[in-house]
Amino acid sequence: MSKLAANQTNEVTIRHVWEARKRIASIVNKTPILQSLVLSEKLGRPVFLKLENIHEIGAFKVRGAANKILSLSDEEKKRGVATYSTGNHGMAVAYVAKKLGIDATVCISNRVPKAKVDSLKRLGANIEIYGDSQDDAGKRCYELERERGLTVIQPFDDPDIIAGQGTIGLELLEDVPNLSNVIVPLSGGGLLSGIGLALKSSTPDVRVTGVSMEKAAVMYESLRAGRPVALPEQDTLADSLLGGIGLDNKYTFRMVKQYMDDVILIPEKEIANSMAFMMDKHRLIIEGAAATGVAAVLENKISHQDGAVAIIISGQNVDLSVLVQVIQQYQN
């Protein structure tokens, strides 16, 4: 276990993000930046797409999972790991565990789309389907921890996970000149916390904008309430952004509050249009969660200022049946 995770009173710092970058280099490749000329023209300033969808598992989550699992002791690796997920984090844990020869169990709810379930099976994970929400799956995961001594790899509220996701911020600072705003999909907050920490530690003026769907946006409602709250999950194209933040949240609630400058909620129609837009204009398949950031630009929801904008294209794991529906709506 890393020293950072071992002492839960420690703050996550920029040093931990740099350490994560070095630790995960053998498993995680740097992702490219693509300038979108169409979105740049729309916004009147450069708009770049950070292509986290091209990781082997099709999502950014591999960064945090790799950092956490590589930080475990030999004994913990030998006993195996477990996690709970809306899909992408589970795939990340399964992928890294397979690379390292570690047994992995992934607990998911009945809501996880078939495409992600199939991917988990291909990665060789032990799958347990339990309940109707990520929180339900989490309960089963911690039962496995007690019953079998497995190490739980949390989806977001963990220092090593946050530091791993923060490596995206380091890459943005290297690759995007005159960066002024980064648009980050917001769910449990691990991605935004890590990127916000990395960016603002060296460039405090960079604005960090969180984007989420309108349905069951738990972090958004928690910030409004001033404390973590629980909400029932709802059907949404942005299924990767579903799930609670934990009523005993230790890190991401506070860090999102500290590092996020703006938050925008995106309706389902705009998510669908943005998914179709990316297929039409960039020939890129992206999932609904990733499309929330694109929608924020397409629908003129970003505050006007100078400098470049970067959108985190967080993943591409979406059912074919959903893509067909999205394309049909877009054409009509």
How far is Cα 8 from Cα 12, in angstroms, rounded to an integer? 10
Rounded to an integer, the average pLDDT of 175-191 is 96
pLDDT tens sequence across 56-81: 999 999 999 999 999 999 999 999 99
Please, are residues 216 and 232 in contact by the beta-carbon 8 Å criterion? yes
Element (H, E) at 181: strand 179-185
pLDDT at position 5 over 70: no
Q: Is 96 left (phi over 0), alpha (psi -120 to 50) or beta?
A: alpha
- Give which of 230, 226, 194 is closest to 210, Cα–Cα: 194
Backbone angles phi, psi at 282, to 5 degrees: -120, 0
Spell out the CATH class of 81-149.
alpha beta
Query: If pLDDT is split at 50, 70 and 90, which confidence band does 134 have?
Result: confident
How far is Cα 66 from Cα 11, in angstroms, rounded to an integer? 20
- The residues near 328 (Cβ < 8 Å, ≥ 6 apart) are none
pLDDT value of residue 7: 44
| Distance spanning both ends of the chain, measured CA to CA | 53
Strand partners, 48: 35, 310
Percent of the chain residues past pLDDT 90, beyond the cut: 81
Query: If pLDDT is split at 50, 70 and 90, which confidence band does 10 have?
Result: low
Rounded to an integer, the average pLDDT of 231-260 is 94
Global pTM value: 0.92
Query: If pLDDT is split at 50, 70 and 90, which confidence band does 2 have?
Result: low
How far is Cα 102 from Cα 77, in angstroms, rounded to an integer? 6
- Give which of 48, 274, 37 is closest to 180, Cα–Cα: 48
pLDDT at position 9 over 70: no
Same fold, 14-60+158-329 and 81-149: yes
Q: Where are the domains of the chain?
A: 14-60+158-329, 81-149
Low-confidence winner among 8-22, 74-88, 157-171, 301-315 (lowest mean pLDDT): 8-22
Please, are residues 103 and 126 in contact by the beta-carbon 8 Å criterion? yes
What is the DSSP pairing of strand 207-213 with strand 179-185? parallel
pLDDT at position 317 over 80: yes
Fold of 14-60+158-329: Rossmann fold (3.40.50)
Rounded to an integer, the average pLDDT of 116-131 is 89
pLDDT at position 115 over 90: no
